[in-house]
Structure 1
Amino acid sequence: MTNNILIENQYKRSSLFEKENVNYLVRILKRFNTVPKINNINIITSTSEPTVFKIVPNKSIIIGSSFLDKPILALVYLRYGIEWQLWYKALNAEKKDVGLCDIAALEVIRIFYNLLPKDDKEKLENLDYVLIDLIKNDIDLNVESSLINEEIQSFHGLKNANTEIKESWKPIIENLAKPTEYMLMSGGDLRLNIDEIHLLNKYGCRPFPRPDAFTFASSTASSVSNFAFDKTDKVRSILIRNSLKNGFENTTIEFSELLKNNLRHIFKLNEECEIIFSPSGTDSSLQIAALTQIISDKEITHILVASDETGSGVAAALKGCHFENTTALNYPIKKDTKIEGFREVDLIQIPFRDQNGALKTAVQLDQEVLDAVINTKNQGRHIVLHTMDQSKLGYQSPSDEFIKKLNSLKNLSIQIIVDGSQLRLDPKDIQNYLNKGYIVTITGSKFFTGPPYCGALILPKSVNKLIHSVKNTLPKGLTQYYNRSDWPTSWFCSNELSDGYNYGSYMRWNAAVVEVDRYYKTPILYRNMGIEMFCNFVNDSIKEATFL
């Protein structure tokens, strides 16, 4: 085709580079960073056919120059075309099943459109284009109608050999025909939702890279990095291909186990230590509360150390109560009400600070915890002691000396939990805790800057063995929170949980593992040097800021 040029050359003399349009174009180009990267697919603009949009399977996407006068329109069409090519490549030998590409690309572009800022949607409001009409008029994108949609097929000119959707496609489309940024904010509660203006969640983070913001490993949440996002986006492509080849269920189970094995390798954990992923650190607390109820027949008391520096929903979760108004599986519930199947427990909260806001001494904290343990022991109750190793502000309690004293107490029914959610721990610290029989909670979204939220429990061999032998089932209300696949397959207790897979949790952990792996592959000398230099810089900056 004559008068065709690569898209990167098209904008060189465009009026879009005039001063008043630059900010808008930059914003669109930033969003283009979330589009999958595919090898050997050229994006070509046509000046001879300014209204053309054509997909040449496995080769190129041709887009008319008129689209480029409306960058957001071009973005939507190119996002569709690239997604179509991604699924076409995944078909391997089954190239006749192009209907799957149509279906999946339509589903992805619908979600992609919904994630656009409100201003960008308004720019598309009065445009008359096939894709835009399908989306904005809420035309049913069910798979049967997509298979026979001639307008969609005209983009690539291929005839679909199947007139009915294959049963094996359905779970693949349902779970993987979604933009990576959407997957990173799915499978969690309302805290992951973003506003339609700035595309930020309640913590000021996005489910796609935000390079214009400085996110220095927040103690709460960070936006995903470019590197981790690209790696996770690549994994989605691999999962699509493997699901079509080997089956969705086998591929998903292998992916989940791969993530767990990667964590075991990074932290040098014993294979008999069990890892359970959760949608957030607070969900991990709910898992602990549930496991405690099936392990012990005694009345239970949770002693929560550093209650003023844990997640805001942890106390409710430990009491077996809903901590948000929706669950990770998107069930609407009422915050602070009891979850079905949980029996009543006591909760003793021991904050780091006194009523005046002053930090308590280590001796004071140790004594408060000891008093709580002894009083609870004398009541004949089972104790779940939640200790803290590195709080949001960097504190630890109780002390190692206190733990040694605990070991001298007789007839003590206790399980110790280490809140390592900030994950400012070395592998040897985690190994040491597990060797002592402690359960460790971690997240990948704090120090290691994985996307929010990704929590996990690490259970030592002794606890794993105990739960494996239990013939009680988890509280019934957890069917609204977790799938059976979230828990070890060998455990009887989780047999009655929901079917399905939490891909949002998996993908967030994939991004987090990428960051953790990068960190530990950096020589320790450079790690320590970098952290020290950064801390010194921050300290000097504060001293030089006269307004502080």
Structure 2
Amino acid sequence: MKEFPATIDLLVSGGDSRITPNPQTGLNKYGCSTLPDNELTALGSSTASVISLRGMTAAQALRNRCAQLVLQDTQQHIYDQQIRALRSEFLSLCGLSEEDKVDALFAASGTDIHLLLAQWLQPDLTVMIDPAETGSGLAAALQGKHFSSDSTCAGGTPEGAAVSDWRGELLTLAARSQDGKPRDIASVDAELLKIVEQAVKTKKRLLLILTDVCKTGLIFPGIASIKKLQQRWPDQIQVVVDACQFRLSKQSLRAYLVHHFCVALTGSKFLGGPTFSGALLIPHLVANICQERILHEGARAYSHSADWPSGYKASLNLHPGTNFGLLLRWEAAMAELREFAQLNEQQIRPFLQAFRKAVSDRIQHDPHFEAVSNPALDRSEIGSAGNWDEEQTIFPFVIYRILSNGEKRPLTRSESAKVYQELQQPADAQQHRRFQLGQPVLCGERMGTPVSALRICISAPMLVSAQEKLSAEKIITEALLAFERIVEIIDTL
């Protein structure tokens, strides 16, 4: 019998090339190590998270349990049992009970989740936010194409080729104007309504993707317009909430499900688990309508049958298979979710407000920076209000160079990318502290120069740590130090 793989090997298995460590740096595509990194100030949870010591300990413990169980049982049976246990606990920690009749599908990433959802629902037309504000492979996945040259379960795949005999049309909506400001909600609503009215006239089935929240912190399109459209044409419109950032309270999560919206989540951003752990929450009404649908065998590249809830015929064409890498990555994320789920509003909001004030003041009073504006996070249209997720947790900003004559010049996109990369390097031999921010996001133009925004982000592990006053002060201090380091880097460009 082959020896059960080590934890560090499992954590980078069962995904695609995005989580393969670079042999020279030991980092994956997102700049994250497979091991905890105590010298990294992790402020980039809108892109990905580095595994914590708590997460690593939990993953190691699960690996050891599986290694013992496999001495007396098959890997397939062990995986089936463990994924069912994960599903049950995950739903519970999300504030859901059996009475809610919500199911959970697991997959390696948010992009994999959207690909499987599209293959399952097979809409004629999907409408989503500008791809710059979400996952880079999402557009291809939602049109029924392989979004990469390799895949989670089948290795090599022909990027851009069809996954199955289904093809889907995709339309995208710009979230921001050319100056980087959020578009007027009325113009977005009018554009979306025109698209939907034209589609329903021709009997098309639509998938509308509501992003909550996008890379720069927007809810888009407006919840009110999505809700009205779904209520007006319930037989032709299905809504999925792209909440892969997982910056949602239990109350908001439940509210979306009550409105029969599917919700896509990941454990690797706000939650603080390692990269590549996705989930789709499926409300009862959607399950009733779609439970008999069978996935094309092309979906085998992205999913095993055990990853689907029991009773779903979608899995009939899938191989049994195991993905212990996915299981361990979710276990690491669950370790963070268990801690975070114990906090209440009074424990969360004061720190969020203190962090926002400190970071906003720093950006406002330094000519090197410009905040990317966002409207308030409002979910009252689905009946969710007064929760911690109304507070900002992603702080995007554009960087400027101050010229010798005192004038400001925005950094180009390549210069901003250079700043992002340099932040992850030690300042010098004496200063080992490094900073990881959210990767640069395209954000229109400033003074005729195309720019990208970097992002400082709050994560669930930060909120757990912030329950101790000294730790809370340290987190804010280190976030402010990141701005100082950026200014130092600008002078070297």
Report the TM-score when normalising by structure 2: 0.70
Q: Counterpart in 1 of 2:313?
A: 492
What secondary structure, in the 3-state scheme, does the structure 1 residue paired with 2:156 have? Answer: coil
Unaligned 5+ runs, structure 1: 1-168, 294-298
* Aligned residue in 2 for 1:504: 325
Pair 1:415–1:227, CA change in 2 (3 A): same
Change (3 A) 1:443 1:363: same
In structure 1, the residue matched to 2:156 is 332
1:259 deviates by: 1.1
**Partner residue, 1:210:** 37
The structure 1 residue matched to 2:128, chosen from 304, 307, 327, is 304
Map 1:288-437 → 2, pairs under 5 A? 288-293=117-122, 300-339=124-163, 341-355=164-178, 357-406=180-229, 409=232, 412-437=235-260
SS at match of 1:244: coil
Alpha-carbon distance, 1:424 to partner: 0.7
Partner residue of 1:237?
Answer: 64
Residue 485 (structure 1) shift? 1.8
1:279 equivalent in structure 2? 108
Q: Distance in 2 between matches of 1:358 and 1:530?
A: 27
Alpha carbons 1:217, 1:449 under 8 Å: kept: no
Partners of 2:273 and 2:333 within 8 A in 1: yes
What is the letter of the counterpart of residue 165 of structure 2? F
- Which residue identity is paired with 2:239? I
Q: 1:320 to 1:233 in 2, by over 3 A?
A: same
Structure number with greater Rg is 1
Instruction: Write the distance in 2 (CA, Å) between the matches of 1:412 and 1:257.
Output: 31
Residue number in structure 2 paired with 1:443 = 266
CA distance 1:411–1:429, change in 2 (3 Å)? closer
Q: CA deviation at 1:490?
A: 1.7
1:267 partner letter: C
Going from structure 1 to structure 2, the CA distance change for 1:459 and 1:211 (only over 3 Å counts) comes to same
After TM superposition, give the deviation of residue 545 of structure 1 in Å.
5.1
Shift of 1:350: 0.8
Q: Which residue of 2 aligns with 1:457?
A: 280
Separation of aligned partners in 2, 1:476 and 1:248: 23
Shift of residue 489, structure 1, vs aligned partner: 3.4
Q: Provide closer, same or farther for how the CA distance between residues 543 and 359 of structure 1 changes in structure 2, counting only shifts above 3 A.
A: closer
Tell me the distance in 1 between the aligned counterparts of 2:154 and 2:362: 44
Is the helix fraction higher in 1 or 2? 1
Residue aligned with 2:150, SS: coil
Q: CA deviation at 1:542?
A: 3.5
Please say if residues 75 and 322 of structure 2, whose CA atoms lie closer than 8 Å, have aligned partners that are also in contact: no
Q: Which amino acid aligns with 1:525?
A: Q
Contact in 1 for aligned 2:150/2:157 (Cα 8 Å): yes
Q: State the Cα distance separating 1:423 from its structure 2 match.
A: 0.8
CA contact (8 A) 1:306 1:397 kept: no
Equivalent residue, structure 2, for 1:476: 297
* Amino acid paired to 1:481: Y
Question: Percent of pairs identical after alignment?
Answer: 29
Moved over 6 A (4+): none
Shift of 1:218: 1.5
Per-residue CA deviations over 1:273-331 (Å, capped at 9, x if unaligned) read 110111000001101111112xxxxx611111343311010000001111111011252
Code of the residue aligned with 2:66 in structure 1: it is L
Alpha-carbon distance between aligned partners in 1 of 2:354 and 2:162, rounded to the nearest angstrom:
48
Q: Which moved more, 1:249-258 or 1:189-198?
A: 249-258
**How far is 1:178 from its partner?**
1.8
Q: What pairs with 1:8-407 in structure 2 (closer than 5 Å)?
A: 169=1, 173=3, 177-216=4-43, 218-271=45-98, 272-293=101-122, 300-339=124-163, 341-355=164-178, 357-406=180-229
1:534 aligns with 2:355: yes
Q: Counterpart in 2 of 1:57?
A: none
**Cα gap change, 1:461 to 1:337, in 2 (>3 Å):** same
Quick one: distance in 2 between partners of 1:214 and 1:367? 42
For the residue of structure 1 that corresponds to 2:253, the secondary structure is: helix
Inter-partner Cα distance in structure 2 for 1:431 and 1:529? 24
Number of aligned residue pairs: give it: 367
In the TM superposition, what is the alpha-carbon distance from 1:503 to its structure 2 partner? 1.1
The DSSP-based 3-state class of the residue aligned with 1:334 is coil
Distance in 1 (CA, whole Å) between partners of 2:234 and 2:12 is: 46
Describe the superposition over 1:107-148 as per-residue Cα deviations: whole angstroms up to 9, x where unpaired. Answer: xxxxxxxxxxxxxxxxxxxxxxxxxxxxxxxxxxxxxxxxxx
* Offset at residue 547 of structure 1 (A): 4.2
Answer yes or no: is the 8 Å Cα contact 1:308–1:351 preserved in 2: no
Structure 2 gap segments, 5+ residues each: 370-493
Structure 1 pair 411–218 and aligned structure 2 pair: CA distance change class (3 A): closer
AA matched with 1:193: T
Given the superposition, is the C-alpha separation of residues 244 and 336 from structure 1 closer, same or farther in structure 2, using an over 3 Å criterion?
same
Amino acid at match of 2:288: K
Letter in 2 for 1:211: N
SS in 2 for 1:388: strand
Q: 1:267 to 1:541 in 2, by over 3 A?
A: same
- SS of structure 2 residue aligned to 1:268: coil
Q: Quote the RMSD (CA, aligned, Å).
A: 2.0
Task: Note if contact 1:188-1:330 (Cα within 8 Å) is conserved in structure 2.
Answer: no
The DSSP-based 3-state class of the residue aligned with 2:151 is coil
1:331 counterpart letter in structure 2: G
2:311 and 2:108 map into 1 onto residues whose CA distance is 21
| Residues 395 and 451 (structure 1), Cα distance of their counterparts in 2 relative to 1, 3 Å cut | same
Give 1:442 deviation, angstroms. Answer: 0.5
TM-score by length of 1: 0.64
Alpha-carbon distance change, 547 to 434 in structure 1, aligned in 2, over 3 angstroms: closer
SS in 1 for 2:239: strand
